[in-house]
Structures are given as C-alpha cells and as structure tokens.
C-alpha cells in the first residue's frame, strides 16, 4: 500500500498567487532585458584615401580609439578610394579621437590558397609604414556633426 507521507501542497490563495506571479515576473524580466541600451550611437562617416595622390583601391583602414573612448572601427576603400567606416558590422563610428592605421594589399596579387593551409596575404604596398598605431601619423576626430573626413593622403616614400 502506498505511503501517505507525501509533502504537503499549499492550498488556497497563496498557491494561486504564486502561479500567477511566476509568469508575470518572467515577462517583466524579458521586457527589461529587451529595453536595455543597444550600445553607443554610431555616427555615419565616410572619407577617401589616396596613396601618392592616386585612389588606393582595396586599402584597409583601422580606426583605433584613443583616450579610452569608443571602439575599434574599420573601412575598406573602393576603386575611387572612397570608404565608409563600420563598427561591429554596422555603418558608423562612435564619437571620439582615433589613430588610423592602414594596409594596402597589392590588388595584382591575389591571395594564394592551398588545400589545408591559410591563404597567403598579398604584399602590403605601403610596406608596413602605417600598420602600427605607433608608426601611423594619421589621427581623426569624430564628432556628432562629422559626416565626411578630410582626405587621408598616404605615401609610399
């Protein structure tokens, strides 16, 4: 014969209230998580880059925040040297000061891919002159009013 020593279940008003509160608390928690700030607002910024006075198609720019504000952003130049800055996959950049580094992979030398190995990068036409934050002389200031940066003019000499 089964034992009748089962734990007591609360009856009445408190039991009913508890089962109504659990879903209400879960919905409130989900709403609060969904209403959180999505992150800093991004300013849409574009610009152009030239090397020795000519558009630097394929040049890659990295924007490194200075002063502890902002996050790393990037851009790649099109055939006319024009670029749009992106941050974490979204167009735009957080306001602040940035040190700009650049590489310019040789477009005539496509990366070599061998089976089971990483692709070999095309040589940097800038020969590493602007690849490090310490070496690069280029800085930019992004404000809420910034729409377009002054042209970034680099040299191979």
Q: What does the pLDDT average to over 65-78?
A: 89
Query: What is the CATH number for 91?
Result: 2.60.40
Taking only the tens place, the pLDDT of each residue in 84-129 is 999 988 999 999 999 999 999 987 776 665 565 555 678 899 999 9
**What is the DSSP track for the chain?**
-----PPPPP-SHHHHHHHHHHHHHHHHHHHHHHTS--SSPPBP-EEEEEETTEE-TT-EEEEEESTT-S--EEEE--TTSEEE-EETTEE-B-SEEEEEEEE-B-TTSPPB--TTSPPBPPPBTTTTTTSSTTT---EEEE-TT--BPPPEEE---
Stretch 72-82: mean pLDDT, rounded? 96
pLDDT of residue 24: 43
**pLDDT value of residue 79:** 95
Question: At residue 29, does pLDDT exceed 50?
Answer: no
Average pLDDT for 117-144: 86
Q: Is residue 27 part of a domain?
A: no
Domain residues for 128? 46-154
Q: Supply the pLDDT for residue 123.
A: 87
Average pLDDT estimate for 54-67: 94
**Within a domain: 113:** yes
How many folded domains does the chain comprise?
1
């Amino acid at each position: 014969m089964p034992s009748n020593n089962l734990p007591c279940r609360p009856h009445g008003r408190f039991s009913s209230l508890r089962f109504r509160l659990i879903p209400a608390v879960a919905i409130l928690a989900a709403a609060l998580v969904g209403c959180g700030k999505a992150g800093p607002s991004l300013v849409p910024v574009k610009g152009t880059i030239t090397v020795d006075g000519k558009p630097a198609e394929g040049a890659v720019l990295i924007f490194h925040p200075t002063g502890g504000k902002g996050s790393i952003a990037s851009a790649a130049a099109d055939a006319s040297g024009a670029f749009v800055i992106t941050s974490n996959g979204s167009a735009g950049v957080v306001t602040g000061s940035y040190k700009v580094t650049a590489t310019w992979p040789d477009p005539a030398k496509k990366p070599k891919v061998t089976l089971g190995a990483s692709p070999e990068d095309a040589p940097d036409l800038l020969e590493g002159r602007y690849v490090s934050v310490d070496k690069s002389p280029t800085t930019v200031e992004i404000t809420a009013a910034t729409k377009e940066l002054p042209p970034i003019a680099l040299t191979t000499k």
